[in-house]
Every structure is written in C-alpha cells, then in structure tokens.
A and B are shown apart, each in its own frame.
Chain A
C-alpha cells in the first residue's frame, strides 16, 4: 500500500461550495466492544498492555487454529441493533473478507457481508442551527460484527507512517478484538449543515453506546473510529456523485472538519471541470486536510464467502425479546432528564452535547460538584486545553472525579479560579491528583489575615498616591492595590478578602 503524494487542489469557499452543490454523507463507524475476551478466542482485551502479550494461536492465526464465537459480543451487537431500532436477523453468517496485510494474521478478516446481524434502523440527531435545534433522522443500513486487526508500528523515516519507514513491527494485541460496524444509508438534504450533522451523529451514537455500556467509545484510543464518505451533486434530484472515503478521523472535531474539508476540496475540483476520484483519503489533523490513499477505481476484490469455520448465528426470538425488554431508557430520554434536572436551556444543553461533555459533566456532578461549576470548567478552561491539543474533552488526561475535587477546593476557599487553572495544568501534565498538585506547587489561597494585612500595608506604602486617592473616597482605585497584593502573593490570595482589607486600612 502506498500513500500517494497527490497535490492538494485548491479549496473552494465553503459558502460557495454549499450554494453550488448538494453534499451527501455516508458514515461508517467502528466500535470496539468492551467484552472481557476477544471475538473468537479467550485472550484479554485490555488497552495499553505490553505488545503481543494478549495473543494465542487463534488470534495469531497460527496454522490449525480455529475461531469460537464470543456470545457476549453477539449480545452486545443485538442490544446496539435494538437501541437503533434495527431488525435482528433470525439467522445470519460470518464471511471471510480476503486481502493481504501484515497486521491481519490470517490474511482474511472474519466479518459479515451480505447477512448482517442488524438491519434497517435509525438514529435521531439534534443539530444546533442559528434558528434553533433541528432533529435529523439518520437511517441506519446495517450493524454487523467483525474482528479487529493488529496494529502496525512503522519504525524510522520521518513521519511514523509506512511510507519511508525503515521497518515495521506488528502488535497483535488488538487482533481479534470484537468490533461492530454501523453503516448509515446516504444522508441527504442536510445542505450546509452536513459537517455539523456528521459530528452530531457520531456524538449521539457514542452516547447510545455509552448508555448501553457496550464500549468505552474513546476515539483517541481507537475504540470508536469513523470513516466519512462525502459526495457532491449539483441538485438533490441528481443521482449521487462519486464519493471519497476519509479515514483516520480520530476525534469529534475532526469528523466535522474532515467533512467540511472534503466538501470544499471536491467543490474546487468540480468547479474546475475535474472529477472526483473514488478513493480512500487520509485525514491529517495537523494540516486539516486529506491526502489520497488507495484508489478504489480498481476496486479491491475481497472475495467474500461464508466463513466455513463458524456455524451460523441464529438468535432465539425469546432471547432477543428479553434483551429488548432489558434495554435502558434511550440516551436521548436520559439527556432530556438531565437537562431538566440541571435546568439548562436547549442551546446550553446542545453545546454540551456537541462538545461531547454530557457524560463528563454528569460524572463530575455525580462526584459531588455543582452543575454550573462542572459545566464552567469543562466548557471553559478544559475545552481550551482540548482545543490547543486538537483532541476531544474525553481525551484529556483528567477525570470527572478530579474536576469535582477541583470544584470543591475552589468552593472551600483553598483555591481561587486562577490557582485552579494552575492545578488543571498540573493534572494535565501528569503531576498527580489535584491535592498533590496543590501541595507540590505550593498553591493555596493565603487566608492568614495578618500576612495579608502586612502585604496590603506594604502595597499602600509603595504607592502613596493611590493610597491617598482611596482614603479620599475613590474606592475604584482600590483595584490597583489589590492587583499589587495578588502579584506579591503569586495569586494565592483571595482577591475579595484583599479588597476588604484595602478598604479597611484606608478608613
């Protein structure tokens, strides 16, 4: 596989692009199921284990080994299907998808082809528009099961990519981890909202998975991965245009950006009289652009055929009905309950949803913080850090429990907002729990009035002019002295108390 060094063509202006063309989306989302063991063997599935330690003859594809289906994976897939309103097949089979790649131990992937377990579902997605929230029903074509591949690590070269690498190593810990693939039907009629819709769809789907507790759906760890198909056509009455399939979209933010980028790229191509090539494209977070991967013009022939090593999956109707009756309340219902309990407006809640922060805030509140405080930190300082790092909130190395502790420290006066921001910095830098950061960095509000009074007196003495103004009744001038005290105490004083003391000393 070579990564073509195709020149990125000029990008069309987004407004002009969506004025001239009707974008159509297709989204394929892979979710790693959180089962204890792999899809076809007993190996563990923990993330981050030492390389090639969670392997056995079966997931290494050793000669003679055979797969045995993990019932838990089937159950999880059925629950996802039911939550998405799908029909559950009474009988279906696995198929082999044949292609050669070193990260695939058998050089075929056990997947499902023309007999998926779940078909014909839908997911209602709320998108925030300038005119308010609008709900779009995304039709789901299928949900099927498959095994994950290993992971190639390319060593040497400049980019860590296969092109130019000195050699490659493969970690098979991920090989055989159960995946489900959720494929939408073409999503039409979203117009200029296509990028937002794509992001909202993945966000909502993630919420569904989390609500069912079938996966930890962490995009940054690859347990939820999205491929975005984008095509353009002149008018909604035209047949579908040629699509590109963008891979490597590893955050909610990237989903939106990648779709927007593809619309602009394809529009520029079409405007110039060119044509869109059906191909796989790779998203690059750093440059905010896509590059050409494998061309699908000479479509790879996967030579699918029914997997002869497995027996058909035939879920008994009673079982499916029991699973249906045991489904939790839908994620959207839960979200509305939370919104009511938290007393948020629609736009406020939607902002939380789009930021992927509903669960983070919920968990922070669950850990004892007030809603407003939790929301303030996640959407403010923490969102700023996530943005800087180009990741999602959930990818930040800070937990809701840690944020809740931070809120508590502010509430009890140990920290003020400025100090709290330094604590966040410390936690994100891996300096430990909030309390440890406070201690190690020596960050605590100076609440000793004697010490503060001394600092205030010193500041007043250093600036007799201002001191005189305050004494003369110009209370607004107190700000300068408060600032000086805060600087002198490296921000560790309670600004309110300092202000009181300044006024006290000047009367």
Chain B
C-alpha cells in the first residue's frame, strides 16, 4: 500500500471520496510520521493524537451515512500556534501563554472543522510571529527538513516544516511580513498570503493587526487553493474582513495557464545582497513563464527601498499595543506574585519573565515610535511610505497582471547564524514585506535548488488585492512546467529524514 503521507491533499481527498482509504487511516499514518520524524524536525508544539483520531472517525461515520461532505473532509491539517483552537493549547511560541487553552475557536479553525479537516496539532513559530527562522520560539527551534542544521524560515517555520516533512499535507500559517512565504521558499513548499481582509483574523492572536493575514501552506499549488477556498470569505466578527465574493482560486489552480498574462519583474527586488543561485533560479523561472506564453516587463517600484524601515516602525508600534494584554492578570504566566507587590509590579515581573528578547525589542521599539513627540517622525512617516508603496503597486499593476520576485534573498541559513544580528534576520523578509504593507495577495512557489548549496529557492507571485486567483493561475503553470522538466515536484527530492521512533 502507498505511503499515505506522500499523497497530496487533493489525492488524499479523492481516495477518501472513493472509499479507498478512511480518514482514520490517513490520520493514523500522519500521526505515525510525526512520531517518527518530529523529534528531529520539531515542527509541532502540541499534537492532539486522540482528538485527531476521534475527529477522523466522525468524518468516516458521516461519510458512511451518505452525508455530502466538503472536498477536504477527512484530510489532516496542522495549525500554527498563533490561531485560537478551543480546548487545545495556543501558546504563540511564548512562555507568557504557556498553558493557555482558548475557550473559543478562531474563525479559521471553525471553518476547518466545519469543512471536516482533521486538526493534528499546533505548529512551532517564532514568539508571537516575530522572526524569520523560528529560532525565537520559547520552546526551541524547528529544523529544516532539507538540512536539519538550517532554519525552516519564520515565523511559520513549524507549519512549512510539517508540510515539507510529510507530517501533514496541509497547514495554516499566518503572514505579517512574509511568515508564510519565506518559510515556503526555504522548505521547497507552497505558501500563500491572501489579500488583506480575505481571511478572517478573528481568533488569530494579533502581532500587527494591519498586516496579519492567515493563509495556506501546502506541497502543491492546487492543495493550497483547496485550503484557501475553505478558510477565505467574509466574517462579520472581523471588521476588516472584505465583504465580497472570493475569487475562484481552485479553478485558477486547475486552469494553470499563463498565455497572455503580463508578468512584471520588480526592479528593486534583486541585485546586491541576493544569493547568486537564488537569482539564477528566479531568472530561469521567469524565462519559463515567457516560454509558456506570458509577456515579461520590468516594473519600477522606488518606494520599495523604504519598505523594510517603514515595516519595522509600523509592526513594532501595533505589536507594542497588541501585546500589552499579556499582563498576568487574567490568563497565562504569572510571576512575582508574592503578595507584596502591586498589580503593576506583577505585570512587570511577569512580562519580563514571559517575553523573549525579540518580543521585548519590538515592544520597546514600538513604544518609542508611538511616544508623544516621536509619533509623526516615526509612525506618521512610516504610514506615508506605506501610501507610496500602495501607489507603486497601483502603477505597476497598470503594466502587469502579476508581479514576480525571488521570495527571499537567500536560501535557508544555518541555525544560530543570524540570531544575534537582528538586521540580518530582518533582511530575510525584504521581498515579502511590500505586499503586507499594501494588502496585496502573494504566493511563494518552489523553483528549484540553488546550485551552490542545494537548498530550495522560491519565486514570489504578487497580485492586486482581491485578485488572489492570479497567484494560483501563474503558480500552478510554473509548478506544472517545472514538474514536467524534473519528472517530480521539488519536494520529492528532499532528503530522507532520520526517524527516531517514539520521539513524540
């Protein structure tokens, strides 16, 4: 019998529908895989084996009763630990939320459950989604399945690694500055950040409210589209949720055709600081798109040069306020409560004990940037840059239907390499940040490995807001052409992982 963990979500769904396998079997296979390899990968912070098997059995029973189930019913999924799951711990990779069990489901979680997906557990992440390597998790780093000495990207390294290591066919991530796309790029998987407002943020523990967006992580573009369709759509519980029909991303992924599509290569996203092998694979991929019938133009987005500094003012500002609620008064870690101090003392001691260095750094940066007398110079200026970036995108989309760039300037770096150099760490999100600032839809698709280190390279596709379908059309076309060339998906050439048996 085939290894059920190697199937795509689409193929698994087909096998479930035809009755070739049961959801319980599929779930058990993935739980076994997690037990075998997660000791080495550490993609999960929490695995709910019992709950997953129960959920799978319920799906099997409903299917047996002839119920009409959704297209992904019975397919296992991993959820980033920043998304609230009723009755299942949600730590955001932080000590300060250790042990917190939400009394409610995020809208995303609700939609997964309603669609019959089986939640395997919660995946590792940089603390409160701050980081590009998952090294800032309070519970230890996640390792890249392509090279266990290297980072799997971040902040959603756990979700990407879980998918890349065949521990789950699908995962939900969140992307504030690239936290879905950059991990996808460095693990050879597919990750999409939907249009801002396309997926409800209700129940997503906020890092930067105006930038955060949940989205799909998968091994194929079609799988990502199937998951995107489940979680997207208007939610009255999120005021910033867009009340408009969701583009048919699944049809676009099946269409997989770029004939006549105008592809804009962003001039600012390349050159100095970019790894040669990354640029090489990127250029080759653009040529393939051209061969497939797309027309390629270069587009100029001068304000992108200021995207990173603007982002590192807006994000810390919002985050300093969003993270204020973690004060030991109602939930989470409480330290220093010896009866002698005031509530403020307990708050201070708990926050000092509960937050890691990167969280503290950004809280302090944001507190400073919002301070009276500095607001205009920092937060105010950053918002102006944001407006300029939106204008650059608008101008670029006059000339092109989608924009492309490398997803990240380099392939996966070594664990520990940038941990003491925040600026070097921040550069990992150089290409992905503009889309968050402007609210565009973006995706990373694997386009090969860099010749110099044999590690995966991702190409980023960017579409205008609410035109998420274009990502899937272009991404699937590229994926198909490359798979034809290689005879397999890129992820299929990832090295075999050491198995450690009962590490979970």
Contact = CB atoms under 8 A, between A and B. Distances in A.
A1 B347 CA distance: 13
A100 B237 contact: no
Contacts of A301: 371-372
Contacts of B102: 57, 62-64
B205 A305 contact: no
B321 A305 contact: yes
B106 interface: yes
16 contacts: A57-B103, A62-B84, A62-B102, A63-B92, A64-B102, A66-B201, A100-B347, A107-B324, A170-B329, A301-B372, A303-B321, A303-B372, A305-B321, A305-B370, A308-B209, A308-B318
Interface residues of B, number: 44
B375 interface: yes
Interface string B217-249: 000000000000000000011111000000000
Contacts of B239: 66-69, 309-311
Given A98-B324, A107-B325, A303-B372, A64 B237 contact: no
A493 to B, nearest CB: 62
A105 interface: yes
Nearest to B210: A308
A265 to B, nearest CB: 28
Nearest to A98: B321
Interface string A62-92: 1111111100000000000000000000000
B115 to A, nearest CB: 20
Given A107-B324, A303-B320, A303-B370, 13 more contacts: A57-B104, A64-B106, A66-B238, A68-B238, A69-B239, A98-B321, A102-B343, A107-B325, A170-B329, A303-B321, A303-B372, A305-B379, A309-B239
Interface string B74-93: 00000000011000001010
A168 B343 contact: yes
A96 B209 CA distance: 12
Contact of B202 (A60, A66, A96, A102): A66
A102 B327 CA distance: 8
A61 interface: yes
B495 to A, nearest CB: 37
Contacts of A105: 325, 330
B8 interface: no
A108 interface: yes
A69 B238 CA distance: 10
Interface string B355-380: 00000000000010011100100010
Interface string B98-116: 0010111010000000000
A294 to B, nearest CB: 13
A119 B324 CA distance: 31
Contacts of B330: 60-61, 105
A64 B203 contact: yes
Given A107-B325, A108-B321, A63 B344 contact: no
Nearest to B327: A107
A108 B324 CA distance: 8
Given A57-B103, A303-B371, A311 B240 contact: yes
Contacts of B467: none
A405 interface: no
Given A107-B325, A303-B367, A303-B371, A64 B84 contact: yes
B204 interface: yes
A106 interface: yes
A69 to B, nearest CB: 7
Contacts of B240: 308-311
By secondary structure, the A interface counts as: loop
A389 to B, nearest CB: 33
Contacts of A100: 324, 327, 344, 347
B241 to A, nearest CB: 9
B97 interface: yes
Contacts of B347: 100
B331 interface: yes
Nearest to B236: A68
Contacts of B432: none
Given A68-B239, A168-B343, A63 B97 contact: yes
A456 B103 CA distance: 77
A62 B202 CA distance: 11
A64 B375 CA distance: 26
The 10 closest A-B CB pairs, nearest first, are: A107-B324, A303-B370, A308-B209, A308-B210, A64-B203, A63-B205, A64-B84, A64-B205, A106-B325, A102-B343
A69 B370 CA distance: 24
B460 interface: no
B31 to A, nearest CB: 26
B119 to A, nearest CB: 16
Nearest to B324: A107
Interface string A38-76: 000000000000000000010011111111110000000
Nearest to B212: A308
A63 B379 CA distance: 24
Contact of B203 (A1, A65, A68, A311): A65
B100 A63 contact: yes
B124 interface: no
Contacts of B201: 66
A507 B236 CA distance: 88
Interface in B312-332: 317-318, 320-321, 324-327, 329-331
B36 interface: no
Q: Which of B83, B84, B329 has the most CB of A within 10 A?
A: B329
Contacts of B103: 57, 62
Contacts of B321: 96, 98, 108, 303, 305
B206 to A, nearest CB: 7
B100 A98 contact: no
Contacts of B205: 63-64
A310 B239 CA distance: 6
Contacts of B324: 98, 100, 106-108
Contacts of A69: 239
Interface in A1-58: 1, 57
B333 to A, nearest CB: 13
Contacts of B327: 100, 102, 107
B384 to A, nearest CB: 14
Interface in B289-340: 317-318, 320-321, 324-327, 329-331
Interface in B193-210: 201-206, 208-210
Interface in A286-320: 299, 301, 303-305, 308-311
A304 B320 CA distance: 12
Contacts of A107: 324-325, 327
Nearest to B331: A62
B226 to A, nearest CB: 25
Contacts of A108: 321, 324
Contacts of A61: 325, 330
B84 A63 contact: yes
A102 B372 contact: no
B366 to A, nearest CB: 9
Contacts of B238: 66, 68
B439 to A, nearest CB: 12
B182 to A, nearest CB: 23
Contacts of A303: 320-321, 367, 370-372, 375
A349 B93 CA distance: 66
A106 B240 CA distance: 19
A360 B187 CA distance: 73
B331 A305 contact: no
B89 to A, nearest CB: 12
Contacts of B203: 64-65
A98 B90 contact: no
Most-contacted residue by chain B among A61, A65, A108 (CB, 10 A): A65
Nearest to B97: A63
Given A64-B83, A64-B84, A305 B317 contact: yes
A96 B323 CA distance: 13
Contacts of A1: 344
B130 to A, nearest CB: 15
